Every structure is written in structure tokens, then in C-alpha cells.
Amino acid sequence: MIVSLSAHSQCADVSPRGLINDDSLMSDLYALADDMMQGRRTGTRGAAMARQYVAARFTEIGLQPVARDDYFHPFDYPKVGSDISGVNVLGVVPGDGFSGRFIVVTAHYDHLGKQGGRVFNGADDNASGVAAMLALAASIKQQPLPYSVLFLATDAEEKGLYGAKAFVESPPVSLDQIVANLNLDMLGQGKHRYKLYISGAGSHPAFEQLIDDTEALGTLCIIKGHRDVRRGYVNRRNNYRQASDHGAFLRHDIPYLFVGVAEHGTYHTDEDSAESIPPAFYQAATEASLILLRKMANITFTPRQVREDVP
Ligand SMILES: [Zn+2]
């Protein structure tokens, strides 16, 4: 039998380098994607349990609350006829250089809940991003960056990025102090392709190089852009501004990078379970996100210009 060394098989050869705590990563993934969380639909008991879990982990890791006594930032968002509320969860690791400037790491914790008696656990979408964010928080807490890092688990993303929009519309620190957004949405389901996609390279002059450096240091294949499943090709130009929470930051001209796998067969189905996530790929994707974040902090972000209100 001839084994071909295609690009695909090279991509599949992932071997994480032990930069993060794999046991915590996997236990956070499994906990958030457990049936007990009932699919984490905004406004449900399952979503409340999920954010209690995230807050308890923030406490364990040692994140500081921002502008409140706890990590919870409730918000309302408009729905026809009535306001519905969601709750973001956020905490910070102060920087040891430019502590007044913030990189915001986002991952939405809400998902679709139950449909027709079946629980949509949303393991990849987006328990994987939240668990990865917790791994990044633990690492940054151990070894802080020059910039402060604000970790934001958003609610109501699936309904229209409402948690992220609420954050940027009413931020707990001045918007001008926020220098960049790193958005993690669907890091786990690398099966079949074993490729991680990063879009937003064009949103800051230093990001193209940052992604190249990250690929060189990590252990998996990184594609710039995002794979458009419907069109069947990698779209490097479309910035997928509405695809996930980074869209809310982009609207305010904040540079962003969006990390995630391509849409896949279990996307928004009841088969998106923790068991279906290949651990080595997921761990390597989380490591790549950590490398990206650490390298991002080497960039000198010039403070955003305060825009004068035009009468
Ligand atoms: Zn998502």
C-alpha cells in the first residue's frame, strides 16, 4: 500500500507542545458541553449554570473583576416587542507594562439550547473557545503580558452578537483603551481537515507577520482567511465581520483576529459533542491561540484616536 504524503496528512500530524494544561482544557470542555448545561441557550437555567462555571474558574485562576464586585455584566438586547437580557462574564489580568491598554479575548458561551427534546451541546460551538480562553487566562495569570488582558465570555452571540455589542457599546474601560480583540470561536473540530483558520490579518499592519510567526512556532497548519463552506473555497478577502463576536469590535475600528475551524458536518447539530472533538488538534489549536496572544503583546499598538463627535 502506498501512503501518500499529501498536504492533508502533514496537517494531521499535530503534536501539542505542552504549553497549556491539557487536563484542565479537556475537563472545562466536557463540563461546558455536558447535558446538564442544556445547550446553554441565552436566558435559560443551563446558560446560568454555564456562566457560574466560568465565574468559578475565573476565581480559581485569579482574574480580577472589572468595574463591579463580581464577574457578571448583565445587558438587555432588543427582540421584537420586548427586551431580553443576557449576561457577559468578564475578568482581567493586569499588564505589567501598559496596564491601561487592553487586549480583549472573547469567546461566546451561549449556544442553541434544546430543540425537539434533543440537547444541542455546542461542544465545538463554542465550549471549545471558552475552555481555550480559560487555558489562556491561566497562562497569562502565571506570566502576565505588558498589556492588560480582559477575558470576556459573551452571551447571546448566536442571536446576533448581542453580548459583544453590549460590551463595546457600554465598555467597563474606555473604548480607546482597547487595542485589539482576539476572538475564539470553534477551535476543536479539526477532524478531516486538521487546519486552523485565522482571519482579520488585514485589520492591523503587524497581523500578517504575527500569524506567520505563530504558525512557525505552533504544530498545526494555519490558513489565513476563513473557509466558506457554501462556496467551497478559502475566502481571504471577506473578513467575516458578522460571523462572530469580533464583528462588534471591527465596527469600532478595533483590530481583531478570529480563530476557528471551518464550518463542519456537526456545526449547529445535536452531534456537536465533546466526544467528537479530537484532543490533539484541539490542544494544538489552543496552543496556537496562546502563541498568537503572547506575540500580539509584542506589537506596539498606538492609542486609538479619540473621535470627536460630529454635530
Ligand atoms: Zn459560535
Return the pLDDT at 33. Answer: 98
Selected residue with higher pLDDT from 1 and 135: 135
Cα of 83 vs its chain's centroid, Å: 26
Tell me, what's the pLDDT at 228? 54
Ligand 1 midpoint to CA 273 (Å) = 14
Structure confidence at residue 1 (pLDDT) = 40
CA angle 117, 274, 211 (to 5 degrees): 125
Task: Determine the distance separating the centroid of ligand 1 and the alpha carbon of 19, expressed in angstroms.
Answer: 25
Confidence at residue 311, expressed as pLDDT on a 0 to 100 scale: 32
- Ligand 1 ion: nearby residues, β-carbon < 5 Å: 125-126, 185
CA of 299 to the centre of ligand 1 (A): 27
Check residues 52 and 3 and name the one with the higher pLDDT: 52
> How much is the pLDDT for 225?
80
Q: What pLDDT is attached to residue 39?
A: 97
**How far, in Å, is the centroid of ligand 1 from the Cα of 248?**
14
In angstroms, the CA 296 to CA 148 distance is 12
Position 234 scores a pLDDT of 54
What is the rounded CA–CA span in Å between residue 179 and residue 3? 47
What are the chain's domains? 8-296 (3.40.630.10)
pLDDT above 80 (res 231):
no
| pLDDT the model gives residue 302 | 77
Q: How far is the CA of 178 from the centre of ligand 1 (A)?
A: 22
pLDDT of residue 186: 95
Q: Per-residue pLDDT tens for 142-174?
A: 999 999 999 999 999 988 899 999 999 999 999
pLDDT, average across residues 119-124: 97
Written as nine digits, the cell of 84 is 431580553
CA–CA dist 263, 255 (Å, integer):
23
Cα(158) to ligand 1 centroid in Å equals 7
pLDDT at 27 over 50: yes
Query: Mean of the pLDDT values across residues 212-218?
Result: 88
Q: Which residue has the higher pLDDT, 118 or 223?
A: 118
**DSSP code, position 261:** P
Q: How far is the centre of ligand 1, averaged over its atoms, from the C-alpha of 123 (Å)?
A: 10
17 vs 127, more confident: 127
Residue 9 has pLDDT above 80, yes or no: no
Is the pLDDT confidence value at 278 over 70?
A: yes
How far apart are alpha carbons 153 and 11 in whole angstroms?
Answer: 30
Does residue 306 carry a pLDDT above 80? no
All 3 cell numbers of residue 73?
455584566
Q: What is the pLDDT of residues 99-117, one digit of tens each?
A: 899 999 999 999 999 998 9
Amino acid at 291: I
Has residue 5 got a pLDDT over 60?
A: no
pLDDT above 90 for 8? no
CA-nearest of 216, 214, 220, 218 to 295 is 214
- pLDDT-based confidence at residue 264 (cuts at 50, 70, 90): confident
Sign of torsion over alpha carbons 246, 289, 64, 39: positive
| Cβ atoms of 72 and 55 closer than 8 Å | yes
Q: Look at residue 267 and tell me whether its pLDDT is greater than 90.
A: no
Q: How many A from CA of 98 to the centre of ligand 1?
A: 31
- Mapped onto helix, strand or coil, the DSSP state of residue 120 is strand
